[in-house]
Structure 1
């Protein structure tokens, strides 16, 4: 039966700088780029926000933050265009979302 050290024999060949660069590369490769929204997309997002606020229905908002997409579901409690923020609440919590982070909006009826 062969008794091998497995991956331990290769760790001596890796410099700490090399290991940190590999980890950094792996973290950056998992990030997705921010989608570029044109004027049409922004108009559609604004229209859906207005409809959801008027009808008081649940809405799913897709936001982009630091290379990751975050999905939030809830109802609007207030929209502040001066500070460019919206507040939403669902059954568990209330949270504030900046309008600049919103990528996509879906009305759930």
Structure 2
């Protein structure tokens, strides 16, 4: 089922906090963070051409996949989920924000 359009719109607003480091969409490029097209349910550290932190590579080798539960945990406290991540984001605090940002990200595919 397609995500709720209102939730996606809210996620798009929240994504402004992510744009300094990440891009989505047809013309997305890696920046200080990787492209996030297709991130939902993707194995971690698999974007071509992006230099991941040792912590993220290690987590990927241990089988980290960006499913709903893992994305929620990472977007709440990145450094608790992936030790040594370069992501300096403090985290979203509210479940509604997590619902919205994940709904938004789910609309972008590889």
Query: TM-score, structure 1 length as denominator?
Result: 0.25
Which protein is richer in helix relative to its size? 2
- Work out which of the two has the higher radius of gyration on C-alpha atoms and give 1 or 2: 1
* Relative contact order, higher structure (CA 8 A, sep 6+): 2
Query: TM-score, structure 2 length as denominator?
Result: 0.25
